[in-house]
Amino acid sequence: MAMNTMDNGQAVPSNERTFYTGMTVAIAAIVLIGFSRTFFLRTLFPDAQSFAAPEPVFIFHGVVFAAWTGFLIVQALLIRSGRLNLHRSAGWIGVGLAMLMIANGTYGSLIAADRPGGFIGVPLPPEQFLAFPLFDMILFGLFVSLAVVWRKKPQSHKRMMILATVNLVEAAIIRIPLEFIAAGAPFTSRGLSYLFIIAMVVWDVRSRGKIHRATLWGGILIIISLPLRMMVSQTQLWTEIANRLIQFV
């Protein structure tokens, strides 16, 4: 089995780099497919524009999200080619993109909640549904922060980066025009995003003989966040908090 040496002295199988590069490409493909009708190829799908957010802030959001996805692929390819110093230097670009995503994602969520009719295609009251995207921003920020803290621990670092993005990929999955996804949302869309976590678990067991702790606890946090969001969003306290937050836009 071909081996590559990491800068911390640990030998890493080349197929591990292939696996994580493949994960980033698969995530990018889902993002491209999910947002093709309302963002990337919107001129080709005029009938789908009723599902597209009209505010300019969401155009910027799409650009930043696309840049983040592209950044992940580039970083994975840099690791795969052994250009570790460039990977590390470019990492701070990722920190900047992550901050933009959190700020823009939070602001966009508040804009959508304050929109007449609330979130497009969502039957829940906007202040109730607001818990879902805001939890996404919290988890994304947590995972990226841990990735920065563990930047000298490659095994933990790359898992945090993947999990940070997996936590957001449901937004693309739910926009894929398949009837069973829409019919069972959010359980189908969220469940399909869990396939990435399952793939990481399978990889860990096959390559390490056990689940890496970053995969384990990060995966558990993402999975339990759905029922947690549902419970929190239905409380009177959350309704009051959401209404106060919406007043800022």
Quick: pLDDT tens for 144-184: 999 999 999 999 999 999 999 999 999 999 989 898 988 88
pLDDT of residue 27: 95
In a domain, 95, yes or no: yes
> What are the residues whose beta carbons fall under 8 Å from the beta carbon of 38, sequence distance 6 or more?
45, 48, 49, 51, 52, 53, 175
pLDDT of residue 13: 62
Sign of the Cα pseudo-torsion (16, 18, 19, 20, in order): positive
Residues 149 and 156: beta-carbon distance below 8 Å: no
Distance CA 215, CA 20 (A): 13
pLDDT of residue 2: 36
Confidence of residue 5 (pLDDT cuts 50, 70, 90): very low
In a domain, 7, yes or no: no
Distance CA 223, CA 104 (A): 24
pLDDT of residue 12: 58
* Position 3 pLDDT exceeds 50: no
Number of domains in the chain: 1
Distance CA 132, CA 108 (A): 13
pLDDT tens profile 113-156: 999 888 888 888 999 999 999 999 999 999 999 999 999 999 99
With H, G, I as helix, E, B as strand and everything else as coil, classify residue 55. coil
pLDDT of residue 16: 87
Q: Whose structure tokens read 């599902």?
A: 51
Distance CA 170, CA 223 (A): 12
Residues 223 and 234: beta-carbon distance below 8 Å: no
pLDDT tens profile 209-224: 999 999 999 999 999 9
105 is in which domain, residue-wise? Answer: 13-44+53-246
pLDDT tens profile 18-74: 999 999 999 999 999 999 988 888 888 888 777 778 888 999 999 999 999 999 999
In a domain, 77, yes or no: yes
Distance CA 226, CA 170 (A): 11
pLDDT of residue 198: 97
pLDDT of residue 227: 93
Beta bridge partners of 3: 13
pLDDT tens profile 192-211: 999 999 999 999 999 999 99
> What are the residues whose beta carbons fall under 8 Å from the beta carbon of 126, sequence distance 6 or more?
112, 113, 114, 115, 118, 119, 246
Distance CA 97, CA 65 (A): 8
In a domain, 199, yes or no: yes
Q: Exposed (0-12), middle (13-18) or buried (19+): which is 183, by Cβ within 10 Å? A: exposed
